[in-house]
Amino acid sequence: MPPLRVVLDANVIISALIRSHSAPGRILRAAVEGTAERLVTSAPLLEELRSALEYPRLQRYLKMSKQAKEGFVILLEQIADPVTIGDYPAPGICRDPKDEPYLQTALAGRADYIVSGDGDLLDLKAVEHIPIVLPAKFERILNSAKEVQ
Per-residue pLDDT, 143: 87
The neighbouring-strand residues paired with 130 are: 127
**Range 92-108 average pLDDT:** 90
Print the domain residue range for 116: 4-148
Distance between CA atoms of 133 and 83, rounded to whole angstroms? 21
CATH number at residue 119: 3.40.50.1010
Q: What is the mean pLDDT of the chain?
A: 91
pLDDT band, very low/low/confident/very high, at 149 (cuts 50, 70, 90)? low
The DSSP letter of residue 22 is: S
Domains in the chain: how many in total? Answer: 1
Q: Which of 148, 143, 104, 136 is nearest to 16 (CA)?
A: 136
Spacing of C-alpha 93 from chain mean position: 19
The DSSP letter of residue 88 is: S
- Structure pTM? 0.93
The DSSP letter of residue 97 is: G
